[in-house]
C-alpha cells in the first residue's frame, strides 16, 4: 500500500492523479479503465477540496493498494473535515431533461456507476471513502 | 487544454482538445460566455476531447440551457470514453450528438 498526504485544494489534482497513475503502472490497465479511475479520483478529491474544510484548507490522505483475484485497485480518501457521506445523497434523475436538471450530484453518481464498489465510513473523526475497481 | 473558436455569422464551432476537468472547464465556460452572443447554432467539436468529468458536463449543461432559447447546440465527433460518460449520466439521450 502506498499513500500520499496532500493539502485538499483543487490545484493539487494533477499531483493526486499522478500518484494514482504511478501505482497503476505496469498493471496492464486498459486506457479506458485508467480514464474511469482518473474521473472517479477527480470527483472525490475535488469534493473534499471544495467542502470538507470550507472555508479553510485541510489535509487529505490518499491510499492506493493493488489486490489480487480479481486484480483490482483499492483507493481510499481520508479527511478529517466535516462528517459527510456523499453516498447518502440521492442520485440525480438521469431521465430528466437536461434543461430541468440541478447542477449538483453528477460527480459522485459517475463514481458509483463506473467503480465496482464504493463505501463510506466515518471513524475516529475521519471521513473515509473507498473505491474499488477491477483492473484485470 | 486547447480551445479553438470559429465563428461564421450565427454559427460558432468550438473545437476543444484535451481534458475537460475541474481545472480546465472554467476556462471554456469563461470563453464561451461572450462568444455565444448572437449565436443560433453552437457546435462543439469533441474529436480531441479524451476526458470529461462533471465539471465539463456542467459547462455543456449551461451552454445547452443558454442555447435553448436562441437556437440549437450540437456535439460532434465524440470519442468512446466521452460517450461512455454521456451514456452513464443520461446526457446521451438529451444532447444533440452527431
The upper half-sphere exposure of residue B65, i.e. CA atoms within 13 Å in the direction of its Cβ, equals: 15
pLDDT at B91 over 80: yes
Residue A95 banded pLDDT, cuts 50, 70, 90:
confident
C-alpha dihedral sign at B72, B22, B19, A21: negative
Q: Taking CB atoms and an 8 Å limit, are A94 and B90 in contact across chains?
A: yes
Q: Taking CB atoms and an 8 Å limit, are A98 and B85 in contact across chains?
A: no
C-alpha dihedral sign at A16, B89, B54, B71: positive
- Residue A9 touches partner B, C-beta closer than 8 Å: no
How many distinct structural domains can be found in chain B? 1
Q: Which residue in the set B53, B90, B91 is minimally distant from A107, CB to CB?
A: B53
> Rounded to an integer, what distance in angstroms lies between the CA atom of residue A114 and that of residue B53?
12
Closest-CA residue in chain A for B20? A39
Most A-contacting residue of B60, B89, B93 (CB-CB within 10 A), to test interface: B89
DSSP labels, A23-36: HHTTS---HHHHHH
> Is B26 within the bounds of a domain?
yes
- Residue A123 touches partner B, C-beta closer than 8 Å: no
pLDDT at A102 over 90: no
Q: Which residue in the set A42, A99, A101 is minimally distant from B53, CB to CB?
A: A42
Domain region containing B88: 7-94
pLDDT at B43 over 90: yes
> Is B18 within the bounds of a domain?
yes
Model confidence pLDDT, tens digit, residues A37-50: 999 999 999 999 99
Q: Does domain A2-134 have CATH number 3.30.565.10?
A: yes
pLDDT at A67: 96
Q: Which residue in the set A38, A99, A110 is minimally distant from B89, CB to CB?
A: A110
Model confidence pLDDT, tens digit, residues A49-78: 999 999 999 999 999 999 999 999 999 999
Site of grid cell 443520461: B90
- Residue A101 touches partner B, C-beta closer than 8 Å: yes
- Residue A6 touches partner B, C-beta closer than 8 Å: no
> Is B2 within the bounds of a domain?
no
pTM check: above 0.90: yes
Closest-CA residue in chain B for A33? B81
What is the percentage of chain A residues whose pLDDT exceeds 90?
A: 87
pLDDT at A46: 97
pLDDT at A96: 86
pLDDT at A100: 80
> Is B47 within the bounds of a domain?
yes
In this structure, what CATH number is given to the domain that contains residue B53?
3.30.750.24
pLDDT at A97: 84
pLDDT at B34 over 80: yes
Amino acid at each position: 500500500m502506498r499513500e500520499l498526504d496532500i493539502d485538499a485544494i483543487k490545484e493539487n489534482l494533477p499531483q493526486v492523479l499522478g500518484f494514482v497513475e504511478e501505482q497503476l503502472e505496469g498493471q496492464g490497465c486498459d486506457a479506458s479503465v485508467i480514464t474511469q479511475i482518473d474521473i472517479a479520483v477527480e470527483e472525490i478529491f475535488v469534493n473534499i477540496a471544495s467542502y470538507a474544510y470550507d472555508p479553510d484548507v485541510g489535509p487529505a490522505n490518499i491510499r492506493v493498494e493493488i489486490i489480487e483475484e480479481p486484480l483490482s485497485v483499492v483507493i481510499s480518501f481520508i479527511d478529517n473535515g466535516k462528517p459527510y457521506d456523499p453516498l447518502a445523497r440521492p442520485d440525480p434523475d438521469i431521465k430528466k431533461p437536461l434543461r430541468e436538471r440541478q447542477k449538483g450530484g453528477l460527480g459522485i453518481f459517475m463514481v458509483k456507476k463506473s467503480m465496482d464498489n464504493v463505501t463510506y465510513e466515518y471513524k475516529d473523526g475521519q471521513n473515509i471513502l473507498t473505491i474499488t475497481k477491477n483492473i484485470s | 487544454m486547447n480551445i479553438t473558436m470559429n465563428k461564421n455569422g450565427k454559427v460558432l464551432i468550438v473545437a476543444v482538445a484535451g481534458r475537460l476537468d475541474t481545472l480546465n472547464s472554467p476556462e471554456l465556460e469563461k470563453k464561451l460566455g461572450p462568444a455565444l452572443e448572437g449565436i443560433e447554432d453552437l457546435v462543439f467539436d469533441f474529436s480531441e476531447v479524451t476526458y470529461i468529468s462533471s465539471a465539463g458536463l456542467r459547462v455543456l449543461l449551461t451552454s445547452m440551457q443558454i442555447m435553448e432559447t436562441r437556437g440549437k447546440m450540437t456535439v460532434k465527433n465524440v470519442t468512446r470514453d466521452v460517450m461512455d460518460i454521456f451514456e452513464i449520466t443520461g446526457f446521451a439521450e438529451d444532447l444533440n450528438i452527431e
